[in-house]
A = this chain, B = another copy of it.
Amino acid sequence: MGSKHTTRAQDYSKWYNELVQRADLAEHSDVRGCMIIKPYGFAIWERMKEVLDQKFKETGHSNAYFPLFIPKSYLSKEASHVEGFAKECAVVTHYRLKNAEDGSGVVVDPKAKLEEELIVRPTSETIIWNSYRNWIQSYRDLPILINQWANVVRWEMRTRLFLRTAEFLWQEGHTAHATAQEAQEETSKMLEVYADFAEHYMAMPVIKGRKTASERFAGAEDTLCIEALMQDGKALQAGTSHFLGQNFAKAFDVKYADKEGKLEHVWATSWGVSTRLMGALIMSHSDDEGLVLPPLLAPIQVVGIPIYRSPEDLQSISEKFETLAEAFKARGISFKYDDDDNRRPGWKFSEYETKGVPIRLAMGPRDLENGKIEIARRDTKSKEIVQFEGVDAIVEKLLEEIQNSLLLKAKSFRAENTAEANDYESFKKLINKGGFVSAHWDGTSETENKIKEETQATIRCIPLNQTPEEGSCIYTGSQSSGRVLFAKAY
Which A residues form the contact surface with B (CB < 8 A)? 27, 29-31, 34-39, 42-43, 46, 62-73, 75-76, 82, 87-99, 104-109, 117-120, 127, 130-131, 134, 140, 146, 150-151, 153, 155, 167, 169, 342
Q: Which of B68, B76, B90 contacts A151 (CB 8 A)?
A: B68
- 26 interchain pairs, CB-CB under 8 A: A29-B67, A29-B127, A31-B69, A31-B118, A36-B66, A39-B63, A42-B62, A65-B169, A68-B120, A68-B151, A68-B153, A72-B97, A75-B105, A87-B96, A87-B98, A87-B99, A88-B96, A90-B92, A90-B94, A91-B94, A91-B97, A92-B92, A92-B93, A92-B120, A95-B155, A120-B120
On whether A89 and B95 interact (CB within 8 A), knowing A29-B66, A36-B65, A39-B63, the answer reads: yes
A93 touches B93 (CB 8 A): yes
A42 to B149, CA, bound (A): 11
Q: Which of B39, B67, B73, B91 contacts A93 (CB 8 A)?
A: B91
Q: Which 6 A-B pairs have the closest CB atoms?
A: A76-B105, A34-B67, A39-B62, A37-B65, A91-B94, A95-B155
Q: Which of B36, B82, B167 contacts A64 (CB 8 A)?
A: B36
A169 to B151, CA, bound (A): 12
Q: How far is the CB of A241 from chain B (nearest CB, A)?
A: 20
Copies of this protein in the assembly total 2
Chain B neighbourhood of A76, CB < 8 A: 104-106
Q: Which of B43, B71, B119 contacts A97 (CB 8 A)?
A: B119
B29 touches A43 (CB 8 A): no
A146 touches B91 (CB 8 A): no
Chain B neighbourhood of A63, CB < 8 A: 39, 42-43, 46
18 A-B pairs besides A91-B97, A93-B108 with CB distance below 8 A are A27-B131, A31-B118, A34-B69, A36-B64, A36-B67, A36-B131, A37-B64, A38-B64, A39-B62, A46-B63, A65-B169, A82-B105, A87-B98, A87-B109, A88-B96, A90-B95, A91-B92, A150-B151
For A153, give the chain B residue with the smallest CB separation. B68
Chain B neighbourhood of A67, CB < 8 A: 29, 31, 34-36, 167
Q: Which of B71, B87, B97, B167 contacts A31 (CB 8 A)?
A: B71
A63 to B127, CA, bound (A): 29
For A38, give the chain B residue with the smallest CB separation. B64
Chain B neighbourhood of A29, CB < 8 A: 66-67, 127, 131
- Choose among A46, A64, A65, A93 the residue with the greatest number of B CB atoms under 10 Å from its CB: A65
